[in-house]
Amino acid sequence: MAENYDVIIIGSGPGGYVAAVRASQLGLKTAIVEREHLGGICLNWGCIPTKALLRSAEVLDHASHAKDYGLVLEGKMSADVKAVVARSRGVSARLNGGVGFLMKKNKVDVIWGEAKITKPGEIVVGKSSKPVVEPQNPVPKNVKGEGTYNAKHIIIATGARPRALPGIEPDGKLIWTYFEAMKPAALPKSLIVMGSGAIGIEFASFYRSMGVDVTVVEVMPTIMPVEDVEVTAIARKQLEKRGMKILTSAKITKVEKAADSLTAHVETADGKVQQITADRMISAVGVQGNIENLGLEAVGVKTDRGCVVIDGYGKTNVAGIYAIGDVAGPPMLAHKAEHEGVVCVEKIAGLPNVHATDKGKVPGCTYCHPQVASVGLTEAKAKEAGRDIRVGRFSFAANGKAIALGEDQGLCKVIFDRKTGELLGAHMVGAEVTELIQGFVVAMNLETTEEELMHTIFPHPTVSETMKEAVLDAYGRVLNA
Ligand SMILES: Cc1cc2nc3c(=O)[nH]c(=O)nc-3n(C[C@H](O)[C@H](O)[C@H](O)COP(=O)(O)OP(=O)(O)OC[C@H]3O[C@@H](n4cnc5c(N)ncnc54)[C@H](O)[C@@H]3O)c2cc1C
C-alpha cells in the first residue's frame, strides 16, 4: 500500500528542504524526494561552492597586495587550483551532510529517486536519471526508495539547470557550464565568459584573481544588466582595473573549436565582428526551470516560458499542487526559494496572516570583487514606473572604514519616493556590501521612512555609515562629503 503524507516535496534544494523543515514544525507529516544531492544546486553547485572559490580568490588578492598594507610576503603569490577546488568541494559536502541531519532531526522522510506526479495527490518515484557523486554527495542513510506515495499536498521544488544557446551549447570540455567551471582540473590560460549576470561575473572575477586572462562578453549595454547602471559602471571600472576585458552590446554569434582552444566570433553594436581565441569558454546565459518529466502536462499544471505558474503562495492552477523556487520563475535566487517554501507551507497549514511573497523586496547579491548588492527599483525602473523620486549617493572614498580597509572605490545609492518618503530601492558596490544590503531590506519591509532612517544610529567606523549618508544626501543633509 502506498504511504500517505500531508506534504511531499519534490527536490531538496533551499526551497524544498526549508519547506520540509517548516512543514514538519507545523505538525504536517512530510517527505522530500531527491534524485541527486541533498541541498540542490545552491549547496552543491551554486551559492556555496562559488563563495568558497571566491574566498580563496579574495585571500590571494589581499596577499598579492600585502605591500600596500605595509606587509612583506616574500615571493610571488599563486594558487594551487586543485587545493582551491578541494576546499570548495569540502565546504559543499559539509553543508550537504547538514541537510541530511536537518531532515532526520525534523522527522522528514527522505525518498531517493526521481519523482513524477501521476495525479493530484499521488507521485511515483522511479530510478534516478542522475548519477550520485560519491564520496562527496553520498545517498544519505535510511532513505525510502522507489514506489508510489500519496500526499494531500505536493510541492514542486525541482530547481533549474543551465540554459544553452543554439549552436553554442556547452560540451563540458571547451565550453563549460557552472558545473565544469566549479571544479577545473587545471587553470586555463585564457577564458571567455559569455554572459555577465551574477553567475558569469562571479566566475569571471574568480578566474581573473587566479591569474587567468578573462574576457567577458555581454549582449546588453551594461554588465550585470538587472543592476543600477551607476553601480555597474563602478564595478566595471574596478574589474577592468584588475585586468578583465569586458565587451558590452556584444554578441557571440559563432564558436569554432580546435583541439584545446576555441575562437568566438563576437559581433559588436557597430556591426563589426571580431574573433577572440581562448582556451575555454563559460556559457553563463541564464538558467531554465526543471519542468520536464514531472507529469505536469498530464495533470494540467500550467507553465510559462519554462517555469510553473504560481500565485503569491505557490499555488498552481491544479488544487493540491504547488511550486516554489527556481522552477517557479525569477528571481532565481536561493533566499527567494526558501521564502516561497515557508510561505507555501504556512498557507497549506492554514496559518493566519500569511503574506504573499513580494518579489519587489528580494535582495540580489553578486560576490565578485568588488561586490554588488541591491534591493528594489533601480533609478531607471523607478522613473519608468512614473515615480517622482529623490536620489541620494555616498561614495566609499569619503568613508573612514572603507579607506582603512584599502577599499575606497564604492558607492551607496538610495532612491526615495519624493512625496511619501518611501524607500523604493537601494544599490551598493564595494567592500562587504552583500552583508550590508540587508539593512535596507529590513527598512523596506518595515516601510521605514527617510526620517526614521536618518534618526537611526549607525556604528562608527563601519562601511554601513555610507548607507545613512546616502539617505542624508537624498535630503540635502549629507554630513561627511
Ligand atoms: C554558480 C551559481 C551560483 C549561485 N549563487 C547564488 C548566490 O550566491 N545566491 C543565491 O541566492 N542564489 C545563487 N544561485 C542560485 C541558487 O542556486 C538557486 O536559486 C537555488 O538553488 C534554487 O533553489 P531551488 O530549491 O529552487 O532548486 P535547486 O537548488 O535547483 O534544487 C532542486 C533539487 O531538485 C532535485 N530534482 C529535480 N527534479 C527532480 C525529480 N524529478 N525528482 C527528484 N528530485 C528532483 C534536483 O536534483 C535538485 O537537488 C547560484 C546558482 C549557480 C548555478
- CB of residue 15 inside a 6 A radius of ligand 1: yes
pLDDT number for residue 136: 63
Helix (H) or strand (E) holding 427: strand 423-430
What spacing in Å lies between the alpha carbon of 41 and ligand 1's midpoint?
A: 4
C-alpha cell at 145: 526508495
Which residue from 347, 349, 351, 361 is spatially nearest to 445, judged by alpha carbons? 361
Please report the pLDDT score of residue 134 as a whole number: 62
Cα–Cα nearest to 208, from 196, 220, 226, 219: 196
How many A from CA of 364 to the centre of ligand 1?
A: 16
CA–CA gap between residue 229 and residue 379 (Å, rounded)? 8
Beta-bridge partners for 13:
none
- Nearest atom in ligand 1 to the alpha carbon of residue 287 is 53
Under 8 Å between Cβ of 183 and 90: no
Angle (CA) 340-341-342 rounded to 5° is 95
Separation of alpha carbons 90 and 134, rounded Å: 13
Instruction: Provide the 3-class DSSP secondary structure of residue 462.
Output: coil
* Residue 125 pLDDT: 98
48 lines ligand 1 (CB under 6 A): no
3-class DSSP assignment, residue 324: coil
Please tell me if the CB atom of residue 341 comes closer than 6 angstroms to any atom of ligand 1: no
- Run means of pLDDT, 10 residues per run, the chain, 481 residues: 94 98 98 95 96 98 95 90 97 92 96 96 95 70 92 98 97 97 97 98 98 98 98 98 98 98 96 97 97 97 97 98 98 98 98 97 98 98 98 98 97 96 97 98 94 96 98 97 92
| Catalytic machinery residues | 460
The verdict on the CB of residue 12 being under 6 Å from ligand 1 is yes
Residue 99: is it exposed, middle or buried by C-beta count within 10 angstroms (0-12/13-18/19+)? buried
Q: Which class for 72: exposed (0-12), middle (13-18), buried (19 or more C-beta within 10 A)? A: exposed
- Of all protein residues, the one whose alpha carbon is nearest to atom 21 of ligand 1 is 42
Nearest Cα residue to atom 19 of ligand 1: 333
295 by Cβ neighbours in 10 Å (0-12 / 13-18 / 19+) ranks as middle
Spatial contact of 469 and 397, defined as CB atoms under 8 Å apart: no
Residue with the nearest Cα to atom 52 of ligand 1?
A: 46
Instruction: Give the pLDDT score at 131.
Output: 76
Closest to 290 (Cα-Cα) out of 88, 6, 36, 100: 36
Q: Which of 20, 54, 40, 149 is nearest to 366 (CA)?
A: 54
What's the pTM value of the predicted model, to 2 decimals? 0.97
DSSP characters over 290-331: --TTSSHHHHT--EETTEE---TTSB-SSTTEEE-GGGG-SS
Using the mean position of ligand 1's atoms as its centre, give its distance from the Cα of residue 122 in Å. Answer: 24
Is the CB of 11 inside a 6 Å radius of any atom of ligand 1? Answer: yes
54: Cβ below 6 Å to ligand 1? no
pLDDT of residue 137: 67
- Angle between the N-to-C axes of helices 229-241 and 198-209, in degrees from 0 to 180, rounded to the nearest 10: 20
Give the largest Cα separation in the chain, rounded: 72
Residues 407 and 396: their CA atoms lie apart, in Å, by 8
Residue 329 Cβ contacting ligand 1 at under 6 Å: no
Pocket perturbation via mutation, ligand 1, pick of 9, 35, 41, 434 by most ligand atoms within 8 A of CB = 41
Residue 159 in contact with residue 325, Cβ under 8 Å? yes
Q: How far is the CA of 468 from the centre of ligand 1 (A)?
A: 35
Residue with cell 543554439: 166
Does 290 sit in the ligand 1 pocket, CB within 6 Å? yes
Distance 308 CA to ligand 1 centre (A): 15
DSSP 418: T
Mutational pocket test of ligand 1: of 36, 47, 202, the residue with most ligand atoms within 8 Å of the beta carbon = 47
CB atoms inside a 10 Å sphere around CB 197:
21
Q: Are strands 147-156 and 3-10 parallel, antiparallel or unpaired?
A: parallel
Q: Check if 266 has its Cβ closer than 6 Å to any atom of ligand 1.
A: no
Using CA atoms, how far apart are residues 317 and 327, in angstroms rounded to an integer?
Answer: 15
Q: Strand pairing partners for 423?
A: 416
Which residues lie across from 175 on neighbouring strands?
281
